[in-house]
């Protein structure tokens, strides 16, 4: 399984959107890495995350690839991952921190 960590601000991604987003992230993981996603959700409590002195609207979505990937491929995958997140949550590209890590060497 591909580890996928999603950190969102409380109230930013309603529970009703979480299941469709999970399905889309899992589909992405299957396509990109050939394995389903193991999705872990972390919600930052209200009034606990700030950006420039205002309550944060940022999300972090981080995945670890099954094997090392070329930078050109990573750029394409990050674009697709951001498009999925924006399409389902309605947030802007400026509100997403997307990461696709290579696996740790053994």
Whole-number pLDDT of residue 85: 95
Q: What is the mean pLDDT of residues 19-42?
A: 95
In a domain, 88, yes or no: yes
The CATH number given to whatever domain includes residue 45 is 3.30.429.10
In a domain, 24, yes or no: yes
In a domain, 27, yes or no: yes
Q: What percent of the chain has pLDDT over 90?
A: 68
Dist CA 36 CA 9 (whole Å): 25
Given a cut of 90, whether residue 9 has pLDDT beyond it is no
Whole-number pLDDT of residue 69: 96
In a domain, 7, yes or no: yes
Helix axis angle, 15-33 to 71-89, nearest 10°: 160
Whole-number pLDDT of residue 14: 66
Q: How many domains does the chain have?
A: 1
Domain span holding position 27: 2-101
Given a cut of 90, whether residue 82 has pLDDT beyond it is yes
Q: What is the mean pLDDT of residues 3-22?
A: 84
In a domain, 19, yes or no: yes
In a domain, 106, yes or no: no
Q: How confident is the model at residue 18 (pLDDT cuts 50, 70, 90)?
A: confident
CA dihedral 46, 47, 49, 54 (to 10 degrees): 130
In a domain, 25, yes or no: yes
Tokens of 70: 């070329």
The answer to whether 81 touches 33, Cβ cutoff 8 Å, is no
Pure H helices in 1-106: 15-33, 71-89
pTM comes to 0.89
């Amino acid at each position: 399984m591909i580890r996928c960590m999603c950190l969102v601000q409380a109230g930013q991604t309603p529970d009703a959107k979480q299941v469709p987003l999970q399905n889309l992230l899992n589909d992405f993981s299957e396509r990109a890495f050939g394995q389903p996603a193991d999705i872990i959700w972390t919600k930052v409590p209200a009034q606990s995350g700030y950006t420039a002195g205002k309550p944060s609207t940022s999300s972090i979505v981080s995945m670890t690839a099954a094997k090392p990937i070329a930078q050109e491929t990573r750029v394409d995958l990050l674009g697709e991952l951001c498009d999925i997140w924006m399409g389902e949550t309605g947030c802007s590209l400026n509100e997403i921190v997307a990461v696709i890590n290579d696996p740790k060497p053994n």
